[in-house]
Amino acid sequence: MHAQSRKVYICSNCGESYLKWQGQCRSCGSWNSLQEKSVGRVAVPSVELTRATQAGQLRRISTKIPELDRLLGSGLVAGSVILLGGEPGVGKSTLLLELAKCGHKTVYVSAEESLEQVRDRCERIGAIGEHLFFIQENHVGSIISLLEKARAELVLLDSIQAVWQEGGRGFSGSLAQIRECAQLFIEFAKKKATPVIMTGHITKDGQIAGPKLLEHAVDVVLYFESTLTGQERILRAVKNRFGHTGEIALFEMTSSGLKALPEGHYLIQVEQTGGIGSILFPQREGQHILPLEVQVLVAPSGFTSGRRIGEAIDVARIHLIAAILEKYAKYRLSQCDIFVRIRGGAPLSEPAGDLALLLAMASSYLEKPLPRKVAAVGEISLTGEIRSASYVQERLKSLVRLGMERVFWGGTPNVWGDIQQSFFVHVNQLLEEVFA
């Protein structure tokens, strides 16, 4: 071992450390919050190399929820730390109690609600059993001590913002407290090989409070989102060290708790798509194909330049498709307001959705309806070319199950299945044939 010592400047608000003093903390933006602190001589232990053949294999336990196991990559990994984020009231606590039904010895740490409140929810969803234990405590040291004695197989913490450490920097719920308390739970999980799932609140900006500092520290980050209908929920994996990112699982909120929805369940009624300014787009979300309805309203503007307003879509994409139509089809969209709404539970994020957006926009501008039971998939280049999308066969199988009768593709024609397919290589060709 050898010893090291240094001086650092630590922000009293968020706990960020710097080698030199500065007036403003770059992490939290507070002024004059950096305080000098001498770090004593620290003994640094020597480390040893380990062969890959000597390392153990990941041990997983099932959540008894097949959709959630698939999302995580075949279950919970022993010693992993999972951050479950979501807006208040979306059902994070309910999801934790659904996990408590897994049959493993589970300790539910309630740092926000009373035990009476948690028990009432447990009774409603049928989670009470001999395998489930509760801790009502906010002090992180007391919680860790009780968890070590309990020898739990699964720990559920609600929530990381509500726990605090005595002697820690900052006030309860501050960035510094969240960082330090989360680190103690991470160390406990790795030491005891016990999975820990902690909830985190979402800010108005749509980020997990603390700005993303916990996302880098934990193994898995899940976002729990509500849909426009209010009943369905989407659980999305945005980070997963033990599986694929981008995966989703669908749930329905019922009076008796959350119900996992199997693959093939969709969040919109696809038979309602079609008409003026409406078409279906099969978007790939992980291993799911999620059908989205693209709705567009084009109306004359009372101003020199039209507005571009989007719901569940990047407004820059609306500008791009409008510019392509104006250049190659001579549509005077610069003098029109364009409103876009995406229905189906997820934002339009794939470039392959360009073709559906363009068709819906052209349909509304020309006031010519698109057929029912029709979908579109294709990426549009700045030269007006329509290019093919990935995962064509998966999308086609999903469209067949949905009862679609026709699909517009971009790229080179191929034959997949019995559904009627039309292929286009340029925007002008597409518009001439569809709106002739």
pLDDT in tens, 220-269: 999 998 876 668 888 999 999 998 888 888 898 888 889 988 766 777 77
List C-alpha distances in Å: 282 to 120, 227, 332, 377, 390: 40, 17, 29, 7, 12
Average pLDDT over residues 346-366: 95
Q: Which of 8-12, 150-154, 324-328, 390-394 has the lowest mean pLDDT?
A: 8-12
Q: 366, 293, 361: which is closest to 322 by C-alpha?
A: 361
Residues 164 and 243 in one domain: yes
CA distance 174 to 163: 10
Residues 217 and 289 in one domain: no
% of the chain residues with pLDDT over 90: 50
Helix (H) or strand (E) holding 238, with range, is strand 232-240
Residue 155 has pLDDT above 90, yes or no: yes
Structure confidence at residue 201 (pLDDT): 80
Average pLDDT over residues 342-353: 91
* DSSP string over 246-264: S-EEEEEEETTEEEEEPTT
pTM: 0.77
Residues 375 and 358 in one domain: yes
Average pLDDT over residues 18-45: 77
Residue 39 has pLDDT above 80, yes or no: no
CA distance 76 to 79: 9
In a domain, 55, yes or no: no
Domain, as residue range, for 185: 60-261
Q: 134, 58, 121: which is closest to 95 by C-alpha?
A: 121
CA distance 253 to 231: 5
Give 3-state DSSP helix, strand, coil % of the chain, rounded to 5: 30, 35, 40
Residues 378 and 424 in one domain: yes
Mean pLDDT is highest, among 110-124, 163-177, 182-196, for 182-196
Residue 6 has pLDDT above 90, yes or no: no
Residues 34 and 171 in one domain: no
CA distance 200 to 92: 9
Residue 2 has pLDDT above 60, yes or no: no
Residue 48 has pLDDT above 50, yes or no: yes
CA distance 181 to 165: 6
Q: 160, 184, 170, 181: which is closest to 85 by C-alpha?
A: 160
Residue 412 has pLDDT above 70, yes or no: no
In a domain, 54, yes or no: no
Residues 32 and 126 in one domain: no
Helix (H) or strand (E) holding 140, with range, is helix 140-150
In a domain, 181, yes or no: yes
Structure confidence at residue 210 (pLDDT): 53
Residue 124 has pLDDT above 60, yes or no: yes
User: For residues 229 and 112, is the Cβ–Cβ distance under 8 A?
Assistant: no
Residue 325 in tokens: 């139509």
User: For residues 164 and 141, is the Cβ–Cβ distance under 8 A?
Assistant: no
Q: Which of 89-93, 268-272, 328-332, 408-412 has the lowest mean pLDDT?
A: 268-272
Q: Which of 29-38, 52-61, 82-91 has the lowest mean pLDDT?
A: 52-61
| Tokens 């807006």 sit on residue | 87
Average pLDDT over residues 399-413: 85
If one counts the domains in the chain, the total is 3
b/e per residue 230-252 (b: at least 16 CB within 10 A) = eebbbbbbeebeebeeebbbbbb
Q: Where are the alpha helices (DSSP H) in 157-253?
A: 175-192, 213-217
Q: How many residues does the chain have?
A: 436
Residues 104 and 161 in one domain: yes
Residues 247 and 322 in one domain: no
Residues 252 and 280 in one domain: no
Under DSSP, the state recorded for 56 is P
Structure confidence at residue 43 (pLDDT): 57
Residue 377 has pLDDT above 90, yes or no: yes
- pLDDT tens readout for residues 71-80: 998 899 999 9
Q: 366, 279, 351: which is closest to 321 by C-alpha?
A: 351
Amino acid, single-letter form, for residue 268? I
Cα angle 364, 383, 279; round to 5: 30
Amino acid, single-letter form, for residue 239? K
CATH number for the domain harbouring residue 145: 3.40.50.300
Residue 111 in tokens: 């740092």
CATH number for the domain harbouring residue 406: 3.30.230.10
Residues 244 and 131 in one domain: yes
- Chosen domain end from 211, 234, 261: 261
Residues 289 and 257 in one domain: no
Structure confidence at residue 227 (pLDDT): 77
Structure confidence at residue 211 (pLDDT): 47
Structure confidence at residue 175 (pLDDT): 80
